[in-house]
């Protein structure tokens, strides 16, 4: 169980580093706030963009999902069935 709120893909999409000050990335159903990361400035991380679910893109990275450990989980990503 989690006390985190659930946000939709549309809410996540606005935190892409362009439209709002916050920069968020979803991974395995959890939305992380990477605003403080120098590696995600303006929402861009190599050829990847924030504001999306990047679960399927992690295998392309030269690192594991341990990179998320120092970031705060802000919400769960809704399944999208009703949004
Ligand atoms: C071409 C693909 C990618 C490259 C070349 C890349 C490269 C890097 C490098 C060099 C670092 C810093 C060193 C390290 O922690 O190992 C890093 C950190 C990170 N990466 Fe990636 N990455 C890629 C894809 C991704 C994807 C798809 C995600 C999300 C699912 C992601 C999320 C992160 C996060 C959250 C950090 C930590 C940033 C920080 O500590 O400030 N990366 N990445």
Rounded-to-integer distance, Cα 79 and Cα 21, Å: 24
Task: Kindly tell me the sign of the dihedral angle through the C-alpha atoms of 4, 9, 11, 15.
Answer: positive
pLDDT confidence of residue 79: 85
Residue 83 CA neighbour count, 13 Å, CB half: 12
Rounded-to-integer distance, Cα 17 and Cα 57, Å: 18
Contact 78/6 with Cβ under 8 angstroms? yes
Residues having CB closer than 6 A to ligand 1 are 25, 27, 34, 37, 39, 45-48, 54, 57-58, 60-63, 67-68, 70
Q: What is the pTM of this model?
A: 0.93
Residue in the block written with tokens 């050829």 = 47
Summarised one tens digit per residue, pLDDT across range 64-79 is: 999 999 999 999 999 8
Distance in Å, CA 37 to ligand 1 centroid: 10
Pocket test for ligand 1, best of 37, 39, 52 (most atoms within 8 A of CB): 39
């Amino acid at each position: 169980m989690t006390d985190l709120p659930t946000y939709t893909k549309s809410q996540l999409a606005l935190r892409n580093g362009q439209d709002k000050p916050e920069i968020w990335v979803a991974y395995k159903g959890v939305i992380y706030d990477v605003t403080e990361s120098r590696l995600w400035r303006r929402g861009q991380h190599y050829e990847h963009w924030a504001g999306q679910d990047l679960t399927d893109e992690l295998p392309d990275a030269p690192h594991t999902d341990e990179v998320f450990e120092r970031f705060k989980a802000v919400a769960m990503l809704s399944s999208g069935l009703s949004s």
